[in-house]
Amino acid sequence: PRSLDHEPPSSSMSGPLILQIIKESQQQHGLRHGDYQRYRGYCSRRLRRLRKTLGFKMGNRHKFIGKKITAEMLSDSRYLLMVLMEAERAWSYAMQLKQEANTEPRKRFHLLSRLRKAAKHSEKLEKLCESPRVDAKTKLEAQAYTAYLTGMVEFELQEWKRAMEAFNKCKTIYEKLASAFTEEVAVLYRQRVEEISPNIRYCAYNIGDQNAINDLMQMRLTGGGGGMMAEKLEALITQARTKQAATMSEVEWRGRTVPVKIDKARVFLLGLADNEAAVAQASNEDTKEHLYETLMAECRDTIQAVREELKSEAKQRERSSDPESGKVSNLQYLHSYLTYIKLCTLVKRNESMAHTLHGKLKEPAADENKRGPRPQDLIRLYDIILQVVLSPSVIICICWWLLLIFSFVCFFIAQSYVLVKKWSEALVLYERVLKYAKEVQSKAKTLNNSLKDLPDVQELIAEVSAEKYSLQAAAILGERHTGDASEAPSQLQVNDSTPLCNRLDTFCLDPTLVGKKPSLVPFPPEFQPIPCKPLFFDLALNHVAFPPLDEKVEQKGKGGLTGYIKGIFGFGS
Over residues 175-201, the pLDDT tens digits come to 988 888 777 788 889 889 988 888 888
The single-letter code of the amino acid at 65 is: I
How distant, in Å, are the alpha carbons of 3, 54, 128, 147 from that of 7? 7, 11, 20, 29
pLDDT at site 393 = 54
Which CATH entry fits the domain spanning 13-57+72-224: 3.30.70.590, 1.10.1520.10, 1.10.3450.40, 3.30.420.40? 1.10.3450.40
pLDDT at site 122 = 94
Note the pLDDT tens digit of each residue in 296-336. 888 888 888 888 888 888 887 777 665 555 566 788 888 88
Note the pLDDT tens digit of each residue in 464-490. 888 888 887 777 776 544 444 444 444
Q: Is residue 165 very low, low, confident or very high in pLDDT (cuts 50, 70, 90)?
A: very high
Q: Which residues contact 174 (CB under 8 A, 6 or more apart)?
A: 19, 144, 189, 190, 192, 193
pLDDT at site 210 = 63
pLDDT at site 81 = 92
Domain boundaries, the chain: 13-57+72-224, 236-316+329-364+373-387, 397-478
Whether this model's pTM surpasses 0.95: no
Distance of alpha carbon 180 from alpha carbon 13, whole angstroms: 18
- The string over 11-45, giving b where at least 16 C-beta atoms fall within 10 Å of a residue's C-beta and e elsewhere, is eebebbbbbbbbbebbeebbbeeeebeebbebbee
Note the pLDDT tens digit of each residue in 425-467. 888 888 888 888 888 777 766 655 544 445 567 788 888 888 8
- Residue pair 34/26 in contact (Cβ under 8 Å)? The answer is no
Distance of alpha carbon 416 from alpha carbon 412, whole angstroms: 6
pLDDT at site 452 = 47
Least confident of 33-37, 238-242, 250-254: 238-242
Note the pLDDT tens digit of each residue in 214-227. 666 666 555 554 55
In the predicted structure, residue 37 carries a pLDDT above the cut 70: yes
> pLDDT above 70 covers what percent of the chain?
75
- Cα dihedral across residues 98, 99, 104, 110: positive or negative: negative
